Amino acid sequence: MSCMLLLSAGLLFGASAADLVTHARAAYEKGDAAQALTLLGQAASGALTAAEKKTLADAYVTIGTAEYDRANWKNAFECFKAGVKLAPTNQAATKYYWKMKRETDVASLTNEGDARKAKAEKEKAH
> Where do the domains of the chain lie?
4-125
Q: What is the pLDDT of residue 120?
A: 61
**81 half-sphere exposure, CB direction, 13 A CA radius:** 12
Q: What angle do CA 71, 43, 101 make, to 5 degrees?
A: 35
The CATH superfamily of 4-125 is Tetratricopeptide repeat domain (1.25.40.10)
Q: Rounded to the nearest 10 degrees, how much is the dihedral formed by the CA atoms of 72, 104, 94, 50?
A: -60
**Predicted confidence (pLDDT) per residue in 15-28, tens digit:** 889 999 999 999 99
The DSSP letter of residue 46 is S
Return all residues near 31 (Cβ < 8 A) that are at least 6 apart.
none
**Predicted confidence (pLDDT) per residue in 21-59, tens digit:** 999 999 999 999 999 999 999 999 988 999 999 999 999
pTM score above 0.75: yes
Other C-beta atoms lying within 10 Å of the C-beta of residue 70: 17
Q: What is the mean pLDDT of residues 63-89?
A: 96
Q: Per residue in 77-105, is it b (16+ CB within 10 Å) or e — as a string?
A: bbbbbbbbebbeebebbbebbeebeeeee
